[in-house]
Amino acid sequence: MERRLEKSFCCGAGGGRMWMEEREGTRINAARVEEALKKDPRTVCVCCPYCLTMFEDGLKSIKADDKVQVMDVAEIVSMGLK
């Protein structure tokens, strides 16, 4: 994704944004989902429980949750160990 590493874009949910209603601009979870979908993924991998929720909610809001799954990095590692 474009905004990553030193230019990363946190969803802010750990700071309470998960429970806030944004009134200006695009919702953070929608913006992050749009960025991710530009890469045409089958899976979006996250390492934060808040990001997991934010991405899942963002995908549901644009009706893309049947095309793209969101998984925690621990789930992906676990699948590789089986």
**Tens of pLDDT, residues 62-78:** 888 889 999 999 999 99
- For residue 80, name the pLDDT band (cuts at 50, 70, 90): very high
- Compute the Cα dihedral for 41, 42, 48, 49 and give only its sign: positive
Write out the E strands in 16-82.
43-46, 69-72
Q: What is the pTM of this model?
A: 0.79
**Tens of pLDDT, residues 4-55:** 788 887 766 777 766 777 777 778 888 889 999 999 999 999 988 888 988 9
Question: CA-CA distance, 54 to 60, in Å (whole number)?
Answer: 10
Three-state SS at 76: helix
pLDDT at site 72: 96
